[in-house]
């Protein structure tokens, strides 16, 4: 995975993406015991087109030029299936802005904060997201004040209460 992160850092350095951070199940493994996952979810802020639209095409073109190929909804980068997810709402934009700088082996990267991973899981609302919230609550050191404020800002308090008796 370290080589994969080096490629992602190069894409950011080259301006193909403005910012990225690890999310999803792989992001959660920075805080809790690992769970089975098949891809690396990378949340990105993309440069806008002249018309203000977002498109993954320049990112995919840059990856193809580096020799990486698409496999379904992912791109295989150094043997790791990577799914790129644009920051399409205010919660994701905030999560990327507040992502935690860390090292994976010797490579710098960013990981979404545990509180954002939990809030995104609540917002997404799948059964596996409910499981992720449970694991984060049990194993991660959540900043409850920060989490409470964020849930309020993004109108997620009611669903959080449903999920966390």
Q: Give the per-residue pLDDT at 46.
A: 86
- Residue 66: CATH number of its domain: 3.30.460
pLDDT given for residue 7 in this prediction: 97
The model's pTM is 0.92
Name the residue range of residue 134's domain: 2-163
Percent of the chain with pLDDT over 90: 85
**Interatomic CA distance for residues 57 and 64, integer angstroms:** 10
Which one has a higher pLDDT value, 65 or 54? Answer: 65
User: Can you count the helices (H) and strands (E) in the chain?
Assistant: 8, 7
52 pLDDT higher than 80: no
Instruction: Tally the domains of the chain.
Output: 1
pLDDT band of residue 34 (cuts 50, 70, 90) is confident
138 token code pair = 């049990």
């Amino acid at each position: 995975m370290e080589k994969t992160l080096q490629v992602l850092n190069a894409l950011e350095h080259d301006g193909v993406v403005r910012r990225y951070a690890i999310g999803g199940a792989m992001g959660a493994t920075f805080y809790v015991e690992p769970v089975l996952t098949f891809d690396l979810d990378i949340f990105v802020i993309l440069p806008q087109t002249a018309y203000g639209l977002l498109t993954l095409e320049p990112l995919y073109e840059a990856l193809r030029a580096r020799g990486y190929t698409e496999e379904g909804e992912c791109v295989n980068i150094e043997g790791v299936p990577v799914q790129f997810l644009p920051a399409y709402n205010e919660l994701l934009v905030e999560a990327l802005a507040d992502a935690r700088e860390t090292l994976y082996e010797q490579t710098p990267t960013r990981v979404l904060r545990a509180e954002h991973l939990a809030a995104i899981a609540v917002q997404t609302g799948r059964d596996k997201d409910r499981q992720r919230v449970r694991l984060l609550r049990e194993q991660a050191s959540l900043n409850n004040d920060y989490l409470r404020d964020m849930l309020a800002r993004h109108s997620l308090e009611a669903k959080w209460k449903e999920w966390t008796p």
